[in-house]
Structures are given as structure tokens and as C-alpha cells.
Structure 1
Amino acid sequence: MENNGKTRSKRSAIIIMGLALFATQFGAGNLIFPPFLGRDTGSHWFIGFIGFFLMDVGLAVAAIISVVANKKGTMDGVTDRIGKIPGKIMVSAIIICLGPLIAIPRTAATTYEMGIKALLPSIPLWLFGLIFYGITLLLVIRPTKVVDIIGNYLTPILLAVMVLLIVAGIIHPIDTATLVHGAKPLNAGIVNGYQTLDGIGGVPQALMMITAATAYGYTKKEDIRDTVAGSALISGTLLALVYGGLTYLGSTVSGVAAAQGLDQAPLLMFITGKLLGNFGAIALTIIVLMACLTTSIGLSSVVGDYFETLSNGKLQYKKTVVTVIIISYALSNFGLTNIIKLAGPILGILYPPMIVLVIFALLDGVVKNDHIAGLGAYFALAASLMANLPMGPLSDFIAKMPFASDGLGWIVPALIGCIIGAFIKMPADHEKISDKIRKDMEDGMDLDLNN
């Protein structure tokens, strides 16, 4: 991205960056979760959506803003509160989830479940995956304009189909939302929000937005902060509207017998078929195929770049990408439902400490003692491990915590960690360095921490 020596107006930059961020976050794989949430929460779908919004859109926006709002203005400024090495480990774990462990395997599995299986039943998942990841490998190793064309044109088309689907469902709902007995709307929303990976993906995505702001001619910290934060709010608003609409559509089939028992992808196909007919379902399948292929290519490239940079070139980009794609192909053969089941506990462990770190990065100018955020994050991590792994009495203990029924049993332990951290004094040298960083950033000076 070039600015040719000119600085684009801030409003224009924010709009363009916001739409670009929306295109990055608006993955076809994420579309399968809101309708599933709506069906399982029925007439209480909006409460479920609130939980989904908080852990998906809300956290993603907060995570992006936290990177540019903290004193360092970097990703390290969010994660270093738990220590430099643990912070790198956490970011690496997030990148692995965004890559070969969950998100990339889900692209092929989602595409297969959302239409290939019905349109071409003679093609098994393993063969489709081989073709899908073969194309991914070819384009990620030798990038071409095909990828840009797919990303630039198919995302708007996918969005247009979604808007058409939502409007049709509002004007002519399939049925009325019914009361789903035994449903836990807030908990269901939180769990489904975790699955999108938008929340934990916000921190690394912020780096892309910072690069874009710089390319548009903005170099001052406050200008970068304003443009990145503005773009995050635009993307978040668009995502909220689409996801809210899809959750509502899911609620309209909560009492439809044929929709019961369907997994995430078949359910969205069922709703699309009911509202737009067979042509709509086929069009959605083709668009999802292209969108998922773009996502697979983009994420593979991100993982390759990240680990090459982290290892100072020891992990070469091409070798890393090949490894990522091989692992992704292997995991994709477990099927979409099993990938989602695998992701559940992993994301349930990673999200709570990241939420704590994001909150305190946003409060960077108010809370100066890093031990508060650090211990809060570690206590949240301990609680999430107990909640998501079979630990006998420890798991039973966390299950009895306040808010545990809504998937938030880690909140009280995190608060306890924050309180303990508040009584641990930061080293004097650290305080001086922190004060110098704050002063330098306020004055708009370049930092040289090595001097």
C-alpha cells in the first residue's frame, strides 16, 4: 500500500481501513455460529447474541484498540504484563489457533459441509481437502492477483448475499421463535463467540491496521490510535449487524422440526434454502468456497510470516507454510463438528487471560502497576484450565464460582489476582522506565529502549 508522499484524509483512511478490517474478520466460517446460537436459544436469542457480541465483536474491537492505546503502542504492550517470554508464548498459541490448529482446518471442512457434500456427494472430504489445500499451497507460495481478486470481489458478494438473506428472513420469517427449555442463552452466546476466534485474533490484526495507517502517512501515535480505533469501530458495527441478523434467523427455526439436530453448517444451508431457494443455496456454496480459500491462503501466510520473524529467520517462511498446510489438511479430515469440539476447551482456556490483558491495556494510563494485570491474567488462566480440563475437585470448585453457569467462572479468580497484584510494588527502575516511556510517547518522540 503506497501513499505516494500524500496523506489521505483521516476520515477517508478510517473508512477504507474499517472496510478492509471487516473483510478480514468477515470469514465464511464465522457465519455458521450465529444461526446455530439463535436456534438453540429461541425466543431468548437476543440475550444469547449479547454474550456472542461481547466475546466476538466487542472483544475484537477492544483488542485492536488496546494495542494502539497502551504505552508501547505494540502487541507486546498488551501481553508483556505476564512477562516477555510468557507473552510471546501466548501470542504464538493464538497464532497457532488462527492457523493450523483450528481456523485453517475449519475452512476446508466448512466449505465441504456447506455444499460440496450435497452438490458433489461422490467426492469424499479427504479428496476435497487435498484439492483445497493444494490450491492454497500453490497460491501462498507463489502469490498471484487471483487471491486479491477473490478477496476484493467475493467478500462484498458474500456480504450482499447475507444482507439479502437477513432482509428476506425479517420480511418473511420461516416461523416464530419458540421458547427452548433448558437453554442458557448467555452461556451459549459466550461459547459460540469464542469459536469465531475474532476476539483473540484482534491483537495480531491490529498490526495490520497500524501498517495501513502508516502507509497512509500517519506516523504520530495519536493519529495512528485514532485511525486504527475508528476502523475497528466501523468493522465492529458491520459485524454486529450481520451476526445479529443471522442469530435472529436461527431463532425463527427454533420450533421447526427439520432444523433440529442439524450441525452448524447444515443449519445455515437449511435456512438459506428455505429463504432463497436452491439457487441461493448453490450461490452461497460457491461464494463460501472462494471466501474460505482466501482465508486459508491469508492465514497460512500470516503464520509463516510470524514464525519467521519470531525465530529471526530460522523458521523459513516456505517451510513453515508447507508444515502449516500439511497439519491443517490432516486436521480437516476430522470434520467440522469435531474441529469445533476440539476448539472449545482450547479457546475456553486462552480467552480469559487475554480478556484481562486487553482490559488493562485499555486502562494503561490509569493502572500503572503491571502486576495487577499480570496476576489477574494468571489467575484467570488457572481458573480457565480448571474449568475446561478434567481436574476433579478443582473443576468442581470452579463450577461453583459466581457466573460459572454463564461460562464466566474465571472472573472472581481474576479479580482476586488483580487485588493481590495491587499489593506487589513494581521495582523502582521499572517505574522510572515506564514514566520515561509515557513522557516520550506523549511528546511524540521516537523511543530507544536500548540507550
Structure 2
Amino acid sequence: MNKTNKDVIVVGFALFAMFFGAGNLIFPPFLGVISGESWITGFSGFVIADVGLALLAIIAAAKCGGDINKVLGRPGKNLSIVLGTAIMICLGPLLAIPRTAATTFEMGVAPLFSGVNPVLFSVIFFAITLILTIRPSKVVDIIGEFLTPALLIALAVLIIKGIISPLGAINPKPMIEHVFAEGVAQGYQTMDALGAVALSTVVITSLGNKGYTDAKEKVKLTIKSGVVAAIGLCFVYGGLTYLGATVSKIYGQDVAQTTLIVEMTASLLGKPGKIILSAIVGLACLTTAVGLTSATGQFFENLTKGKLKYEVVVIVVCIFSAIVSNFGVSTIIKFSAPILDMVYPVTIVLVIMTLFGNKIKNNNAFKGAAYMALIISILPFANKFGLDTSFLSKLPFAPLGFNWIVPVVIAGVIGNFIPSIDNNEIKDRIDRAN
């Protein structure tokens, strides 16, 4: 195997592991339970909304050199900074990173070692994260060469055992009416497209450190690595969804997602299953924490043009995340999820438009689409102030969580017909007027 192909596989493995957090572990089995024999249909919807959007985000970010501000920049610099900062704070120390430690403790440590102090565990978890993150050039290699193979082996043991010895017969009837739509909705909830935009920065940096200096080559290799990660995610998601389908006659819609994966693992592998699950959760969360911590450090270093050093940012992120993680998974999600709900649609819109950026010449098309996505995402919170927003549930694609699509398309088309004047042209007009 030549060096380039090896690098693509290593980077692809790293991307897979950075995407595959504990949330990605618990969604597919539950989808399998409620889908029954239609689990492939549900799985298809999940893959489109999760892996599909994430792959598009990787391609868009790669075309922009891994710079989040360029992906978000066409609607204007101010919106780009606000959105980029909100995304990185949520993916960073406010939500995703502390959630990795909290989930590892609740699902991987507490069931095995009841006496472990959660504060002590968070300190140890983020000390390891910091050690693996402090040198950005080594992040992808550490994850891709060492941590991902261990994660894949642990997942393979669970999935293969479930295929060879199914836990039960698959329910012939799904528990829900719109299986594909439910798959899309659950895939959408993983919000991996946000992570893809951020993690592409880590990938681009790694490829540069490996000696790839040509911009087009780095884009090409980043996209290939994204495809490797996407293939791995599809196989794992498919296996986990099938495992859920095999217990669709045992559990109902009311089963807790974390409880489901714990009990499935125990039924398949007995007492060693707790150790296997602990390894899966720990590795999945650690690789995600490492990737997102590194991405956060690089983002704020670039945003401040080096005034905030990468090393300083990752140290602060690890300390802050260690503190927040002790509030527990449910509290973290409750506090931060609304912010993600607001920034996710506009990010998807800008990712997709970036893919066709060469064909969309008018920046007002980007502005119209972006601000409309933001408005539709913010409106649900207006209920608290007495504003009736029930019309949002009647918009096209609302059941799939995509009620913003049609308004965004309309706003983008309208914006495209409004002449765009750049700063240089404004300056020229002022000079001529004087």
C-alpha cells in the first residue's frame, strides 16, 4: 500500500471515530426496535440524514480549506463570526465535549465501578484528552492508528455476536407509521453535519503536516477520507439497527435508549458485555472529545489570528469541560440543545450552498437563505412570549424536522434577484460622489 492510500485510510478511520460518539451508539438500536422488519427503511433514512449530511459538510469544508468562516462567510462577516463561535462553543466546552465524559461515566464506568467519584473521573478523562490533543499534528494519527481499530474491534464483537445469535424474532409490524421519516428525524438529531464542518479543520491540518501542500490535493484526500469514514459509519449503523430489530418483540417505544443498549449487550455477551460496552463507550467518547477539542483550539487560534494560542485554548476547553461534565448528560443537553437547534439549519443551508458556490454569484442569495433559516429556527422560542407559531408545524417537511426548507429556498431565490454590492464597489461609488 502506497503512502497516500495509507494516509487516506488513517485519516478516514480518525474521522469515523471522531463522528462516532455515544449518541451515535444509542440512536440506531432504538430505531431498529420501533421499525421491526422495516429496519432497513428506517436505517436508510437515518444514513441519509446523518452520514449524507456529514459527507456533504466535509466536502464543503474541504473546498474552503477547512476554514469554518469561509463556509459560513458568504452571508457576511458578522454572521459568520457569530455562527462559527456558537457552533464551536456548543461542539466544544458547552455541550458535546463535556457530554462525552458524562456519558462515559454514566454508561461505561458507573455500571462497572459503583464507587468511582465522578469529579475524579472527569479530571482523569480530560487529562487524557489534553495529552492526546496538545499537539495538533498528532491528533489524527493517534486516533486513526490506535484508538479507532480498538473501537472497531469492540463494535465488531457486539454486532457479529448479535448476527450469529439473534436475541429474538423481528416484529413483522413497525411500531410507527412513517418509518423512513423517523429514520431521517433521528439521523438529523445527531447533528453530525456541525461536527463535520469543525472536524475538517483537523483533517486539513493533519494532511498538511503529512507533507501534502497542494490545496487541490488536500481537498481530494479529505473527500476520500470522508468517504472511508462514511462507509464505516454505514456498516456500524446498519449492524446496530439490525440488533435493535432483533429485540423489537421484547421492548416497546417507551424503552430508554441507554437502557436498551446496556441490556442488549448484557444479553449478547453476559458479564463480559459490560466490559465490552464500557470499552465501546469510552473509546467512542474519547475519540470524539479529542477531535472536537483540537478543532475548537484551531478555530479560535485562526479567528483571533494567533492571539489565542492553540495550546491555551485546548487547556481552557479541557478544564471548563471537566467542570461542566459533572452536571450530567441530561442537564447538559437541556441547557445547550436549544442553541444547537438554532444554528444547525442555517449551517446545513450554507454547507449545501457552498457546494454550489461557483454557480451562485450573488451573495444576497446566501444572505436571504441564511437569515430565513435562522428566523425559522428562532421562532419556536417565541412561544414563551405568547406568539403563536403553530404554523411552523404545517410547513412542508415539518414532520421530518425540515420545516425551514421551503421558506429558505424562497428567500434564497428572492435574494438572488437583489443586486449585490461588495465593499470595493461601495468605496468606488463614494469616491466618485466626492
Q: Indicate the SS of the match to 2:198.
A: helix
Alignment-derived partner of residue 378 in structure 2: 385
C-alpha spacing 1:403/1:354, structure 2 compared with 1 (3 Å): same
C-alpha spacing 1:243/1:86, structure 2 compared with 1 (3 Å): same
C-alpha spacing 1:306/1:67, structure 2 compared with 1 (3 Å): closer
Task: Give yes or no for the alignment of 1:229 onto 2:223.
Answer: yes
Alignment-derived partner of residue 406 in structure 1: 400
Comparing 419-428 and 285-294, the one that deviates more: 285-294
Structure 1 residue 409 displacement after superposition:
0.7
Structure 1 residue 426 displacement after superposition:
2.2
1:372 to 365, 368, 391: 365
1:214-247, Cα deviation, whole Å (9 max, x unpaired): 3444433432322221111111111111112212
1:256 to 245, 250, 264: 250
C-alpha spacing 1:166/1:230, structure 2 compared with 1 (3 Å): same
Q: Indicate the SS of the match to 2:301.
A: helix
2:272 to 254, 274, 279: 279
Q: Quick one: distance in 2 between partners of 1:345 and 1:36? A: 23
Note the residue ranges of structure 2 that are not aligned, 5 or more in a row. 426-434
Comparing 146-155 and 83-92, the one that deviates more: 146-155
Q: Indicate the SS of the match to 1:82.
A: coil
Q: Quick one: distance in 2 between partners of 1:46 and 1:128? A: 38
1:136-182, Cα deviation, whole Å (9 max, x unpaired): 45765699x99976774332122122123222222322123333544
Q: Quick one: distance in 2 between partners of 1:55 and 1:360? A: 17
User: What pairs with 1:14-413 in structure 2 (closer than 5 Å)?
Assistant: 14-69=8-63, 74-123=67-116, 125-133=118-126, 135-136=128-129, 152-178=145-171, 179-182=173-176, 184-257=178-251, 261-315=254-308, 317=310, 320-387=313-380, 390=383, 392-413=386-407
Structure 1 residue 376 displacement after superposition:
0.9
User: What pairs with 1:3-22 in structure 2 (closer than 5 Å)?
Assistant: 10-22=4-16
Which amino acid letter does the alignment assign opposite residue 106 of structure 1?
Answer: R
Q: Quick one: distance in 1 between partners of 2:286 and 2:363? A: 41
Structure 1 residue 387 displacement after superposition:
3.8
Comparing 60-69 and 42-51, the one that deviates more: 42-51
> 1:154–1:290: 8 Å Cα contact kept in structure 2?
yes
> 2:154–2:279: 8 Å Cα contact kept in structure 1?
no
C-alpha spacing 1:394/1:219, structure 2 compared with 1 (3 Å): farther
Structure 1 residue 55 displacement after superposition:
2.8
- TM-score normalised according to structure 1 size: 0.82
Q: Quick one: distance in 2 between partners of 1:80 and 1:142? A: 28
- The CA RMSD over aligned residues, in Å, is 3.3
Structure 1 residue 413 displacement after superposition:
1.1
Which amino acid letter does the alignment assign opposite residue 235 of structure 1?
Answer: A
Q: Indicate the SS of the match to 1:368.
A: coil
> 1:73–1:221: 8 Å Cα contact kept in structure 2?
no
Structure 1 residue 75 displacement after superposition:
3.4
Q: Quick one: distance in 1 between partners of 2:84 and 2:362? A: 22
> 2:42–2:181: 8 Å Cα contact kept in structure 1?
yes
Q: Quick one: distance in 1 between partners of 2:185 and 2:339? A: 11
Q: Quick one: distance in 2 between partners of 1:38 and 1:350? A: 29
> 1:186–1:406: 8 Å Cα contact kept in structure 2?
no
- TM-score normalised according to structure 2 size: 0.84
Structure 1 residue 84 displacement after superposition:
1.3
> 1:56–1:193: 8 Å Cα contact kept in structure 2?
yes
Structure 1 residue 126 displacement after superposition:
4.4
Q: Quick one: distance in 1 between partners of 2:397 and 2:284? A: 37
Comparing 188-197 and 160-169, the one that deviates more: 188-197
C-alpha spacing 1:159/1:313, structure 2 compared with 1 (3 Å): same
Q: Quick one: distance in 1 between partners of 2:244 and 2:419? A: 51
User: What pairs with 1:413-424 in structure 2 (closer than 5 Å)?
Assistant: 413-424=407-418
